[in-house]
Structure 1
Amino acid sequence: AGAGLGYLASGEKNIQAFAQHFAKVSIGPDKLNQQRHVNFLKDAATAKAHMRRHAEIIAPKFNAVLKTLAAGLAGCKMGDWNEPEGGYFISFDARPGLAKKIVALAAEAGVKLTPAGATFPKGNDPQDQNIRLAPTFPALDEVQRAIEVFVNCVQIASLEDVLDS
């Protein structure tokens, strides 16, 4: 997020000047950005009102995703997903070994998803089954089209997996 100084080569006077300067610098939070948040949110009531407005924007997107997942995949043993009570993501678990394939199929169809396994350390999902769905940023109509493509990709990958076994 930010640049840092990795090393410093200079004369003795400059080194002393930098040492005096850096003695007063702390590695820590961005105080100016924190102050902006304090000024904007003011108190708990303002923060709660802001989050309610945020929910009004993203709730229809989450509802579209959950409704489309249920319509296309419920009871089919092609995947499971959570229904979050907050947060910004829906966690989808495909059949083991298919997450990367599903993400690749979606990419071929023009839908950019979070990389498979992104929720795991170093992105390494040992079962290759988790996909984090993030419907907050795109417009609602884009979310709807994308989740329809996603469901089709899950169906294709799952059926191919069954036929290959």
Structure 2
Amino acid sequence: MTTIYDFNAIDIAGEEVSLADYRGKVLLIVNTASKCGFTPQYEGLETLYRDLQDKGLVVLGFPCNQFGNQEPGDAEEIANFCKLTYDVNFPMFAKIDVNGADAAPLYEFLKRKARGLMGSKAIKWNFTKFLVDREGNVVKRFGPQETPERLRGAVEALL
């Protein structure tokens, strides 16, 4: 696998999606959670998406329950929370693991291509973000404390 376009993922409605559908777009891929201190970042992610989608940005949300059991709901509960609380319109996917033996292949790829602090491969917490260019190459990894507002410049540089 050489780009993210080589992967498929299951969306929040249970449908398989080829990430090749996003070819030519700048992607911000985020592992999310509904009951986390960083959950308000949904608002900033949605703002980025709305402001920049016409220029080619797509935010992809991947719920994960591996950090403090902060995403306990099923797909319907997650989708309802995102829509009703933050009016999320960017694509959301089915809950996945981002670390360990059951980690989603996409996340294994992302972690290999963009390591964390001190070369760490593991995702440390919810709302870790990966920025992907229009060719499907992983450009940069951002920790949870990096708010969507602070990423705007890096995103715009790729648009």
Q: Which has the larger radius of gyration?
A: 1
Normalised TM-score (structure 2): 0.31
The structure with the greater share of residues assigned to helix is 1
> What's the TM-score, normalizing by structure 1?
0.30
> Larger strand proportion, structure 1 or 2?
2
